[in-house]
Structure 1
Amino acid sequence: MVETISELKTRIDDYLGVNLAADVDQDTLYSSMRYSLMAGGKRLRPALTLATVQMLGGAVDTDVMRAATALELLHTYSLIHDDLPAMDDDDLRRGKPTNHYRFGAGMATLAGDGLLTLAFQWVSDNKLPAATRAELTLALAQAAGPAGMVAGQARDIEGEGQQLDLDQLRYLHRQKTGALLRYAVLAGGIITNQSRPVKAALADFGAHFGLAFQIYDDLMDVLGTTAQMGKAVHKDAGEQKNTYPGLLGTAGAKDQLHQALAGARAAQTKIGKLTGRSFAGYDQFLAYFKL
């Protein structure tokens, strides 16, 4: 049985809330790490991993939970660093003051560093088979590192004040946002030891989902409210960020969103054919994109 996103979120929150303290050895650092980690959030990334494991017939035990929630540690690190004065200089995240406003830029930087390194500890410090742990660690490093999310952030910084074309914008967001969401789905296939074609189809679903997520986020910066998003909106244009609405207009961005979702649904169908299983559990994730 595939649990709902709400059920998975509760399990993820419970695991994070209980287990973070065991691996942090400084009180202020712990408070700063916990402040951002437990500030809320949709938990879509680890939920995607856990739902994928369940749809592939795997069980979500403590070891799977530890490996999956490592991704939320890493995602939270990226948000803390993204909000820093040297980056986006945001003062609101998930409806609360950002970490550096609460703890100062130095401690916020260290909290992000701590969450990043702890993510790799959790991926490797569990009782999953050694080959599984090694494959997860490599895939996560590739998704998060200088050929993945970090490279996307660098492109985002360099692109400010420049007009990227659509292919360049897609590539930026494939790294900046899509890489971790692609990994989130692929990780479910790695944990359940799927064949290479199944892993490729899972990664394809995750990549399309990640692109849709970024386009939707761009649109909500234009169409949404601070209360809806839990962060400041209407900032991208003023900061000369490269976004889908900025390049294509709202209607064009919506069309790109529909194309990305169509790609995700095609991959969802392909995974079902390859495995002989139902992947209707992804429908609840695709329902996230409501305008």
Structure 2
Amino acid sequence: MSGYELLARELAACGRDGFTGEVRVSGSPGGTVHLRGGLVVAVESPGAPGPDALLLRSGRIGGEEWADLVRESGGSRWPAAQLIAQGRTGAAQLRVVCVMALQDAVFALVAGIVDDCERGPGDGSPPAAIAVGEPPTRLLQDAARKVNALLALPCPVRPERERPAPALPSYDATRLGPLQRELLLHADGRRTSRDLAFLTGRGVYTVTVEVARMLGEGLLECPRTPAPIPVRLPPGGQPVRPREPAPPPPAPAQARPPEPVALPRRRPGASGITEAIGGERGGTGWKEFFRLRNPTTK
């Protein structure tokens, strides 16, 4: 059974049972589906930006303002009442953001890998839950339609797989839309469509589709990864172990330093010291000079 079928069967059963709680989806990216009376009211996934990320990263509200709202709400992860009371957003607009985030998270689950699904009682009211839930079957069908539409594009990509980079050193920014300019600014060959969605405060489906279109238009490219080195198998079927490199040759023995050469003795007085003192060649030497000063010296 595929991951999509596993998820669809579990959520369909939750809808029939009128289940209230959460379904923990393990896999990549994985996530948690919150249900109330068999309807989906919120979905959290590391594969898609949540409503708070959509508001903050898009610049609709600043980080300090958000921190003040969370503080005023007593530490709530989703200060919806404060957002509406202070006129930061309307109730209808806030609901639209929550629904978009919910649908985007379901798309991330369906486009990824689902290993297992497990029901749980949940831990209270989920953050950013919508008042009127969505039928799980309809959500999954909509997500599957988005995946199929994405795969039908000339250059399909997955949210967490390809890492695009700008293909042109220069381009006419006046001919590009706002999202295209943002993606060209942040795409660097290391970020996936999921990363770009979090960075720009856009839905991961919207960003993934735009990345695929820009790849087809030649604005972006995906650097190729180096091909793996093939392993040559002998007739026995066992891989050939690479031969160990030969040890380096021993370092040549260092030659012993030459013996110091004795300098020739200098003739007394050759340095001019005797002349500077005032003595004459062949006259009284140093020993005689000391004998004159110290008659007791032998």
What's the TM-score, normalizing by structure 2?
A: 0.25
**Larger % of strand: which?**
2
**Larger % of helix: which?**
1
Q: Computing the radius of gyration over CA atoms, which structure comes out larger, 1 or 2?
A: 2
